[in-house]
Amino acid sequence: MPRNFIVEGQVIDIETRNGIPELGVEAIDKDRLSRDDSLGKAITDRSGSFKIFYNKQDFQDDFRDSKPDIYLVVKDKKGDIVYTSKDNVRWNASRKERFIIHISTNLIEETMMKWDIEKSNEVKKQIAKNEELMKALSAKTKEVFDSFDIDLKGMSYIFEPRVFTMSKEEVPEMKMKSYASLTQVAMEDLIKKGKVPHYYEKVKIPVRPEPIEGIIDPEWLHILEKYRINERELVQDNPVPIKTSDILIKKIVGNSKLLNVLSQDIFKLLARHGIKFGDTQGCVLTPVVFETPVYAQLVGKVNDTKEIRGFGPQVIAESVSHGFKPVAGSIMVGDILVPSVSVDQMIWVGIPAPEMLFAQELLKQQIRI
């Protein structure tokens, strides 16, 4: 049977404007009611060009499918996805469609330090769906804060889990590499969604990343503490009020005793509920601090955690220095309520302050969940 439909195009390096060879390209037909259909695959040539031939039987599930609805998935040599146009489907495509895809080769170079968006999503989902665990984590965090005289005075917080992979030898470069890799994974996520401008230099990460600062898991903390050269003032002797994420992070990371207690207690609870990490994996719980809302409020509804923009490694969002006003409340994920805060349309979920859990309980009573 002749294959008289074609998807062709070119994958171009954003920085050099040259084609990128040896990438796998798959054309997929988006189905509204059934599983998506693969139309075919190709490998980019020296110029980054590709051609995929297919016929009507490859996409026509019934008589109503007169035209395909196409999106592309591009993978590197390791099989990792470096681009997809799934969020920008080409509906009712013609017999011949051409795609020009812009990718940064920096995103497909092998790196050791990497933030794992999928694992981070999984951890957040496990916490969000386990009410007992969320309450225990919230209560334990508050208990430790109280024992070290940490009082946020009108401010609340959410600690967001971020999972990374790294070799032990990279610890001396941990902060530098974590900054670079977070910028990379944030850009990679945008590119996968087809939302990166044609010119790489125009892309800006919206807020300042400081990903490695927060409550780190005990194994990595033990290694990291070998490199400590400064013990900051004890928290109770520091009169600076906690009004921003930066200040809370400094109080936690600057006090080795506080950091160690939080690390041991929090990650022991996570492990007890089956949330563990591999040999080269670690996890940092990074806080965002915001003004405690006056009223309990529902700030959004989605069917699944995957629909929340911002799931995965985040960036510290400071409302004072960046002009973003946080919106705190609960978000409905399917049939459960999850405490959250939105900063510049990015949703943070994780370990909430007790008052955020109290607000969630009030909402449950009012909307009868």
CATH code of 17's domain: 2.60.40.10
For residue 193, list its beta bridge partners: none
Strands, sheet with 49-54, edge to edge from the N-terminal-most edge strand: 49-54, 5-13, 96-103
pLDDT of residue 177: 58
Both 320 and 343 in a single domain? Answer: yes
Q: Which residue, of 80, 108, 136, is where some domain finishes?
A: 108
CA angle 213, 341, 273 (to 5 degrees): 65
In this prediction, residues 68-96 reach a mean pLDDT of: 87
Same domain, 211 and 96: no
The model's confidence at residue 45, banded by pLDDT at 50, 70 and 90, is very high
Cα–Cα dist 266/281, whole Å: 17
Q: Report how far residue 351's alpha carbon sits from residue 115's, in angstroms, rounded to the nearest whole number.
A: 19
pLDDT at 201: 41
What does the pLDDT read at residue 86?
83
Where does a domain end: 75, 108, 141? 108
Find all residues with CB under 8 Å of 252, minimum gap 6, and list them: 214, 215, 258, 259, 262, 287
- 269 and 203 part of one domain: yes
Question: 14: which 2 tokens?
Answer: 């954003």
Closest CA to 103 of 216, 207, 25, 6: 25
Tell me the pLDDT band of 63, cut-offs 50, 70 and 90: low
Higher pLDDT, 309 or 224: 224
218: phi then psi, degrees, rounded to nearest 5:
-55, -40
By residue range, what is the domain housing residue 318? 114-367
Q: Is pLDDT of 320 > 60?
A: no
DSSP H or E segment with residue 99? strand 96-103
Pair (57, 194) in one structural domain: no
Q: Based on the domain organization, do 87 and 15 belong to the same domain? A: yes
pLDDT given for residue 205 in this prediction? 43
**Which pLDDT score is estimated for 257?**
92
Task: Answer yes or no: do 255 and 194 share one domain.
Answer: yes
Q: Pick from 68-82, 133-147, 232-246, 247-261 the range whose average pLDDT is largest.
A: 133-147
237 contact partners, CB below 8 Å, separation of at least 6: none
Provide the percentage of residues in the chain whose pLDDT is more than 70. 73
Report strand pairing: 327-333 vs 298-302.
parallel
Cα Rg of the chain (Å, integer): 23
Average pLDDT over residues 70-86: 85
Helix (H) or strand (E) holding 249: helix 245-253
Percent of the chain with pLDDT over 90: 32
Q: Which residue spans within 107-154 are E strands per DSSP?
A: 114-115
Total structural domains in the chain?
2
* Secondary structure (DSSP) of 305-360: GGGSTT-SS-----HHHH----EEEEEEETTEEEEEEEETTEEE-SEE-HHHHHHH
Q: Specify the amino acid at residue 65.
A: D
Per-residue pLDDT tens digits for 186-225: 666 655 555 554 444 444 444 444 556 789 999 888 888 8
- The yes-or-no verdict on residue 7 having pLDDT over 80 is yes
Contacts with 103 (C-beta within 8 Å, 6 or more apart), sequence order: 11, 12, 13, 14, 20, 23, 74, 82, 83, 191
Pick the last residue of a domain from 108, 130, 155.
108
Look at 58 and 17; give whichever has higher pLDDT.
Answer: 17
Same domain, 50 and 69: yes
Q: Choose the weakest-confidence range: 24-33, 55-64, 183-192, 239-248.
A: 183-192
| Residues belonging to the chain | 369
- Count CA within 13 A, CB hemisphere, residue 299: 25
Weakest-pLDDT range from 39-48, 238-247, 313-322 = 313-322
What pLDDT was estimated at residue 208? Answer: 44
Same domain membership, residue 190 and residue 274: yes
Residues 104 and 183 in one domain: no
Co-location of 268 and 173 in the same domain: yes
Q: Is the pLDDT of residue 296 over 70?
A: yes
Stretch among 185-194, 291-300, 353-362 having the lowest mean pLDDT: 185-194
- 162 and 60 inside one domain: no
> Mean pLDDT across the stretch 293-314?
71
pLDDT at position 315 = 46
First to last CA, the chain: 55
Per-residue model confidence (pLDDT) at position 200 = 42
pLDDT at 203: 42
Read off φ and ψ for residue 358, nearest 5 degrees: -60, -40
pLDDT at 204: 43
* Same domain as 128, residue 95: no
Q: Within 13 Å, how many C-alpha atoms sit on residue 87's CB side?
A: 13
